[in-house]
Amino acid sequence: MVENNNSIENRLMAEKQKQEKQGSLKAFNATVIDCGIPVSPHYPNLKGSDGKTIKDERGFAKKSDKSDGFSYTLAVFGRKQFVHLVLSKKMELKPASPYKASGFGYDLGENFYIKSEPRLLNY
């Protein structure tokens, strides 16, 4: 089946808009393994009306009382790097089993933090 030019142009425009929306976030797509780090509830930082994180009197970010998901820390297969992501639903992971992790986030050397579009699938 041959696509018409409008369809291809629309897809290219949508992809370009998606990339612009991501800003400085880097794409992440790798095979990871569960290395036994316990899953924990994730509590997001509270934001003010200006969109900035609210800090307490000691300068630490204030956290919400309500969890928005579960925080996972997994090892990237074949690299000396951990990936951190938050998923809305809890998954039962098997230790030393491979998974496919993807999303957009920040690469900080030995740690990659997925902040947008996190996905974790069985390999």
Tell me the per-residue pLDDT of 86-105, one tens digit each, with 9 for 90 and over: 999 999 999 999 999 999 99
Q: Can you give the pTM of this predicted structure?
A: 0.73
Pairing, β 111-122 against β 82-87: parallel
Spatial contact of 122 and 99, defined as CB atoms under 8 Å apart: yes
User: What's the rounded Cα separation, in Å, for the pair 63 and 48?
Assistant: 12
In 3D space, the residue among 73, 76, 87 whose CA is nearest the CA of residue 118 turns out to be 87
Spatial contact of 76 and 105, defined as CB atoms under 8 Å apart: no
Residue 13, helix vs strand vs coil: helix
3 band by pLDDT with thresholds 50, 70 and 90: very low
Average confidence (pLDDT) over 52-62: 93
